[in-house]
Amino acid sequence: MIGRSGVDRPVGLEVDHVGVAVHDLDEGSAPWRLLGLPVADDETVAEQGVRVRMLRAGDTEIELLAPLDASSPIARFLSRRGPGVHHVAFRVEDVEAELARLLREGARAVDLTPRPGRAGSRVAFLHPSWAGGVLVELVQPADPERSS
């Protein structure tokens, strides 16, 4: 397959989205809107303690994450490091199998089993200490054949 750069090499996993921690979704989305990224509806992901707003950028998205309350992992991130890039998410077909494979290969994970993500997806986070300080998310999108 020929990549966008025109170089003939494997394409690898696709970046599903880049997660960005913000204090407030409206304030946090202003620069991205100015860049011209279309905004989707907000969604609450209670399991992760966040309110989420997606902004589409071609084949990928910016995922703005605002804390629901002070106990949210995003609230802790904001108090330690301030607003900014929080994680990079890759799309996988089978999050359970991919997580198990990575753990067998010695990866460190935040989640030992997948958990519910936004829009019916299933996700698992790998530990930032494993990927050079980057929090990596694996996302298995909702099965479009099984709309729940």
Cβ at position 17, least distance to Co ion in Å? 6
Closest CB to Co ion among 89 and 104? 89
Closest CB to Co ion among 63 and 122? 63
The whole-angstrom separation of Cα 137 and Cα 65 is: 14
Contact region for Co ion (CB under 5 A) — 13-21, 23-31, 90-98, 126-134?
13-21
Element (H, E) at 85: strand 84-91
- Cα separation values, 114 from 41, 72, 97, Å: 24, 18, 10
User: Which of 20, 62, 89, 138: binder of Co ion (CB under 5 A)?
Assistant: 89
The whole-angstrom separation of Cα 88 and Cα 17 is: 6
Contact region for Co ion (CB under 5 A) — 3-11, 37-45, 86-94, 124-132?
86-94
Whether 62 and 16 have beta carbons less than 8 Å apart is answered as no
Cβ at position 103, least distance to Co ion in Å? 20
Residues forming the site for Co ion (CB under 5 A): 19, 63, 89, 137
